[in-house]
């Protein structure tokens, strides 16, 4: 499709961490017709509401950054919501896009779609070759159905619908709630609060040995803009840094950034999750995109944002998940 700065772009989930970053990235490149609706204005789980919205707004492009997300605890405690609500959201967006002539659809997922013990680094081709990580399989299965729906549309209707699978994201507007957040923002909050509490010891889940890859959310947003502005010849692309560290190294890096001087205690009774999740990002690199924010810089920026917004960071209740 031919893009111009007036192309109508609907960003689903525009108030979330990824959605806000995508909005900023598009605005900075001069796009002027961005559409966003809060969950109060538009319930993406409601098929009729979504269908009516598309008929009225008629977007040219849809970026699906909307999802029900959370860490190991939330995924484990609310499997039905993580499976069903994510499928409802993406099915309504994908089908309404197809029915209303949306020219380009960018579906955002997660590296958890890949098998738990897939060969590292994770290639796009390893999708559906083995069993998933049990602690987040509900969310992963939902996201896999979204990838496959977009692939089916590419195959049957020859439309430019593409799926981008980011590694672990972090950054501005992250979720810092200790019960529902992912590992990096949870650590920032734990070390910060321990520092304020006279440098008390910090207890962290697992052994610290699993390896993880982390991508600053603004880099993810730049990847979305890249996919929007370029012809994507395949249905699925990994988005990441291609570099990983142990959870122990991550904890020590965050501890140093925050200035916490207490001990780190590892609770090995708690689950580790997947032993390693490193993305093969060569397909995006070959097209001309790669990350630009190193982990130390990203953690520093995220902590500064956390400090500046700490009064406005909301607690997320588990029953709201």
Q: What is the DSSP letter of 266?
A: E
Q: Is 110 annotated as a binding residue?
A: yes
Q: Is 141 helix (H, G, I), strand (E, B) or coil?
A: helix
Q: How far apart are CA 120 and CA 126, in angstroms?
A: 10
Q: Is 143 annotated as a binding residue?
A: yes
Q: Is 19 annotated as a binding residue?
A: yes
Q: 272 near 71, Cβ under 8 Å?
A: no
Active site residue 139: yes
Q: Is 314 annotated as a binding residue?
A: no
Q: Is 167 annotated as a binding residue?
A: yes
Q: Is 199 annotated as a binding residue?
A: no
Q: 228 near 119, Cβ under 8 Å?
A: no
Q: Is 261 helix (H, G, I), strand (E, B) or coil?
A: coil
Q: Is 26 annotated as a binding residue?
A: no
Q: Is 13 annotated as a binding residue?
A: yes
Q: Is 278 annotated as a binding residue?
A: no
* Alpha-helical segments (H) within the chain: 17-28, 47-57, 72-77, 79-99, 137-157, 183-196, 217-229, 247-258, 282-287, 295-309
Residue tagged active-site, from 139, 161, 237, 303: 139
219 to each of 19, 84, 148, 226, 242, how far by Cα in Å? 12, 29, 25, 10, 13
Q: Is 111 annotated as a binding residue?
A: yes
Q: Is 14 annotated as a binding residue?
A: yes
- First CA to last CA distance, the chain: 37
Residue numbering of the annotated binding site: 13-19, 108-111, 143, 166-169, 182, 190, 205, 212, 272
Residue numbering of the annotated binding site for substrate: 190, 205, 212, 272
* Residues with catalytic function: 139
Residue numbering of the annotated binding site for NADP(+): 13-19, 108-111, 143, 166-169, 182
């Amino acid at each position: 499709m031919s893009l111009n700065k007036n192309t109508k772009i609907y960003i689903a989930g525009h108030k979330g961490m990824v959605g806000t970053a995508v909005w900023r990235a598009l605005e900075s490149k001069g796009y002027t017709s961005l559409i966003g609706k809060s969950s109060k204005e538009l319930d993406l789980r409601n098929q009729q509401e979504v269908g009516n919205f598309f008929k009225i707004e008629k977007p040219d492009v849809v970026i699906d950054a909307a999802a029900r997300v959370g860490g190991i605890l939330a995924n484990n405690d609310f499997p039905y919501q993580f499976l069903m609500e994510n499928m409802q959201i993406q099915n309504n967006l994908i089908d309404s896009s197809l029915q209303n002539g949306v020219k380009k659809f960018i579906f955002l997922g997660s590296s958890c779609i890949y098998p738990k013990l897939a060969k590292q680094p994770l290639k796009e081709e390893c999708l559906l070759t083995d069993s998933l990580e049990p602690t987040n399989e509900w969310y992963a299965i939902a996201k896999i159905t979204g990838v496959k729906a977009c692939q089916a549309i590419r195959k049957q209707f020859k439309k430019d619908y593409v799926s981008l699978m980011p590694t672990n994201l972090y950054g501005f507007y992250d979720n810092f709630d200790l019960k529902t957040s992912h590992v990096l923002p949870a650590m920032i909050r734990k070390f910060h609060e321990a520092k304020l509490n006279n440098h008390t010891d910090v207890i962290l889940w697992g052994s610290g040995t699993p390896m993880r890859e982390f991508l600053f959310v603004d880099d993810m947003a730049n990847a979305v803009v890249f996919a929007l502005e370029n012809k994507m010849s395949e249905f699925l692309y990994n988005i990441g840094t291609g570099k990983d560290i142990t959870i122990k190294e991550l904890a020590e890096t965050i501890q140093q950034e925050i200035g916490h001087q207490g001990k780190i205690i590892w609770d090995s009774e708690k689950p580790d999750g997947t032993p390693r999740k490193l993305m093969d990002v060569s397909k995006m690199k070959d097209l001309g995109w790669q990350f630009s924010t190193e982990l130390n810089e990203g953690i520093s920026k995220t902590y500064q944002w956390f400090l500046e917004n700490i009064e406005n960071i909301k607690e997320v209740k588990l029953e709201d998940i």
